[in-house]
Structure 1
Amino acid sequence: MSKKILANDGIDAVGKSLLEKAGYTVVTDKVAQENLAKEINDKGYVALTVRSATKVRKDVIDVCPGLKVIGRGGVGMDNIDVEYAREKGINVINTPAASSNSVAELVFAHAFSAVRFLYDSNKQMPAHAEDKFDELKKKYAKGVELKGKTFGIIGFGRIGQTVAKMALGLGMKVLAFDPFVSDVVLEIEIDGLKAIPFPMKTVTMEKVLQNSDFITFHVPGGKLISKHEIASMKNGVILINTARGGVINEDNLLEALNSGKVACAGLDVFENEPRPSVAILKNPKISMTPHIGAATNEAQERIGVELAEKLIDALK
């Protein structure tokens, strides 16, 4: 059997090294989407790893009989026809545990940016602080603290639970909804000491929407939030989406931002990636990042290691 792996969207050096030590040749040269199937067949790749850029659809799967494993470096696998690949006998793996902390920290980066207006002040200070410092000081003088506020979490898997632990550490109240999780015991670590167990029960989605000051989404996709759901939220709620574009209807979000129903939004994902709508990009009440939830050095190393270990096991 061939021992060649195409890491088409790259792989961390530590993960690559683990694969090479196991006897595999790992190629990280990027292959254009339209040439992917031909390259896999011509070079005899037995495994393909991707992140979110490369798509592995039915057309690729059908013409690559030598492909044994598809690995997704990250959590969501919506860029892979997973069930179809498995029906064809291809093992499909991902790395759900590796990026939880990085995504959760980005959630709070957006939350802090929202309550202290950093997303706007970082634009306005270079342009106007020289002659309008006092005006800007007054404009941004109504920040609020996160402590004591209620953080709502839709989707309570690994990432959602990591968000909950951080929120609790900040002195926040937490409400969480997940149709597949009824209760958990969170292990809260403090400065390397023995983890403190914190039992939590999930609640209904309606209770999260109606009672939260912040709402963050950690679901694999779907259309969850539109005009009806927004209407049930608190006035001045802050919405954060680091999950998948489309979870929040962007037209309805813009309406709610313009009316003041939603005070601010933090978006790492967009409906029309990689070309977000101009209306979203120009809205002054949105804190934005370009889908970088897992893009930290630490997470990428963990993803590379987890992916390598799973590939080695799958290719035995």
Structure 2
Amino acid sequence: MPDKAALLIGPLVHARSEWASVSKITSKLHEYPDGSRDDFLSKCRSGEYDDVFAMYRSNDSNRITGNFDSELISALPSSLKYICHNGAGYDNIDIAACTERGIQVSSTPIAVNNATADVAMFLVLGALRNVTHCFQAVRKGKWRGDFKLGHDPKDKTLGILGMGGIGSALAVRAKAFGMNIQYHNRHRLPEQQENGAKYVGFDELLETSDVLSLNLALSDSTRHIIGKKEFAEMKDGVVLVNTARGPLIDEEALVEALESRKVWTAGLDVFEKEPEIHEGLLRNENVVLLPHIGTATFETQRDMELLVLDNLRSAIKEGKLLTQVPEQKKDS
């Protein structure tokens, strides 16, 4: 039996038997299902996890440990070489600090694409049809309430900021509704991956999109990538959708743009200070709000857990990750 232990932080719901089977290639399986940051740090510093070679953690486990920032990473056992993260986004992990410690990190791209793109398309349609007022009115016995017409998606231009896996999956869905697709990335995709989408510069994307969907990762360079200046560049009456990360948008600026009707409607699954939602968004009936449920399906949650465990097994058996975060691929 290899002298390599694995540690699970937080819940694992859909792949318990697969986690148990990891015992065949490890010396021990540790679990830290609940607790606090201080308690976890204490266990790390006391040597309780000094045999841990690979770790499974998730965005959900952040409520237990807090961010994997430089303080926490410095307390992790020297034996730890791999962090297998459950989540497409990993902005709560200091990747630079991990790299400095010689810890490799994986995430769960691909597994999240379809479910998140479904929610993005749901929000595109909901925002275009401005469903919030009617949805609330009918439950209050007011039928349609102060009913107003919405817009068809057909022939509208959807601008996708961040044409990765989720953005590409959204493009396929939007095309089926007759939308014209354009996108902006730091680098243009190979033509065969564009599927007919038009590549444009960032400013052109802002100026010419009828609907703008944010599908990019959060980093220091993308925080508040959409703010007052960017709203001013957009079409009057633009629709904004965000299923990526809340801090991509300056919410104060968004509230102002909604109140002035520069932004006609918005569809949001993520927020700047989750779970807190800006009061200006809550009171505005021109916003469709969801509580960060982009990947919240049985099938996708299981696929994500299985991908994390596949990374864990590969780390232990082969010394490499299947879906390592791109920042570390660049450094390697």
TM category, shorter: 0.7 to 0.9
CA–CA separation in structure 2 for the residues paired with 1:32 and 1:142? 49
What is aligned with 1:115?
128
User: Secondary structure, in 3 states, of the residue corresponding to 1:185?
Assistant: helix
Letter in 1 for 2:251: E
CA shift for structure 1 position 36: 2.0
Correspondent of 1:33 among 37, 57, 74 = 37
Deviates most, 19-28 or 62-71: 19-28
- Number of aligned residues: 298
Letter in 2 for 1:177: H
1:3 aligns with 2:5: yes
1:158 aligns with 2:162: no
User: Secondary structure, in 3 states, of the residue corresponding to 1:4?
Assistant: strand
CA shift for structure 1 position 293: 1.4
What is aligned with 2:326?
none
What is aligned with 2:18?
18
Q: Is the 8 A contact 2:9 2:58 kept in 1?
A: no
User: Secondary structure, in 3 states, of the residue corresponding to 1:307?
Assistant: helix
CA–CA separation in structure 2 for the residues paired with 1:167 and 1:238? 14
CA shift for structure 1 position 115: 2.2
CA shift for structure 1 position 186: 4.3
1:33-52 pair list within 5 angstroms: 33-40=37-44, 41-44=47-50, 45-52=52-59
1:157-203 deviation per Cα after TM superposition (whole angstroms, max 9, x unaligned): 1111111111112111001000123444249xxxxxxxxxx344421
CA shift for structure 1 position 104: 0.7
CA shift for structure 1 position 149: 1.1
Q: Is the 8 A contact 1:36 1:60 kept in 2?
A: no
Letter in 2 for 1:231: A
1:62 aligns with 2:74: yes
1:279 aligns with 2:292: no
What is aligned with 1:312?
313
Letter in 1 for 2:217: P
Q: TM-score, normalised by structure 1?
A: 0.87
Letter in 2 for 1:58: S
Correspondent of 1:203 among 200, 208, 215 = 200
CA shift for structure 1 position 141: 4.5
1:86 aligns with 2:93: no
CA–CA separation in structure 1 for the residues paired with 2:196 and 2:148? 37
CA–CA separation in structure 2 for the residues paired with 1:230 and 1:148? 22
Correspondent of 1:71 among 84, 96, 99 = 84
Deviates most, 32-41 or 242-251: 32-41
The 3 A distance-change label for structure 1 pair 254 and 300 is same
User: Secondary structure, in 3 states, of the residue corresponding to 2:8?
Assistant: strand
Q: Is the 8 A contact 2:155 2:178 kept in 1?
A: yes
User: Secondary structure, in 3 states, of the residue corresponding to 2:140?
Assistant: helix
Consecutive unaligned residues of structure 2, counting only runs of 5 or more, are: 318-332
1:90-130 deviation per Cα after TM superposition (whole angstroms, max 9, x unaligned): 1211111110111111111112211223222221212242x
1:88-107 pair list within 5 angstroms: 88-107=101-120
CA shift for structure 1 position 248: 1.5
What is aligned with 1:194?
none
The 3 A distance-change label for structure 1 pair 308 and 184 is farther
What is aligned with 2:211?
214
CA shift for structure 1 position 271: 1.4
Q: Is the 8 A contact 1:177 1:205 kept in 2?
A: yes
Letter in 1 for 2:170: V
What is aligned with 2:296?
295
1:132-147 pair list within 5 angstroms: 133=143, 136=145, 139-147=146-154
1:221-243 deviation per Cα after TM superposition (whole angstroms, max 9, x unaligned): 22211122111211111101111
Runs of 4+ in structure 1 deviating by more than 4 angstroms, as ranges, are: none
User: Secondary structure, in 3 states, of the residue corresponding to 2:301?
Assistant: helix
RMSD of aligned Cα (Å): 2.0
